[in-house]
């Protein structure tokens, strides 16, 4: 499974630094559900002081997420 690029997003406060944190668990669950909808896999998922870094093995899904993030940053 090759990742289709990595997405890095400041999702949580800096004190959220564990994959066991309830907010992180919920976010990862959402990513897994989206991956299932796109018939692909969540290839990697990490948290570092509130920053989530993740990747899928789908160019289409990765591109869609990046478009959403870019549009959101313009608002």
What is the domain partition of the chain in residue ranges?
7-74
Among 14, 15, 65, 16, smallest CA distance to 37 is for 65
Among 70, 72, 10, 1, smallest CA distance to 35 is for 1
Q: Where are the alpha helices (DSSP H) in 1-75?
A: 22-37, 59-74
Q: Report which of residues 15 and 75 the model is more confident about.
A: 15
Q: How many helices (H) and strands (E) does the chain have?
A: 2, 3
Reported as a single tens digit per residue, the pLDDT across 8-60 is 999 999 999 999 999 999 999 999 999 999 999 999 999 999 999 999 999 99
Q: What is the pTM of this model?
A: 0.87
What local confidence, expressed as pLDDT, does residue 10 receive?
A: 95
């Amino acid at each position: 499974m090759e990742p289709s690029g990595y997405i890095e997003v400041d999702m949580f406060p800096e004190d959220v630094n564990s994959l066991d944190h309830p907010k992180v668990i919920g976010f990862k669950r959402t990513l897994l559900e989206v991956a299932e909808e796109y018939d692909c896999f969540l290839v990697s998922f990490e948290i570092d002081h509130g920053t989530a870094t993740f990747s899928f093995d789908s160019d289409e899904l990765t591109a869609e997420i990046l478009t959403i993030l870019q549009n959101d940053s313009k608002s």
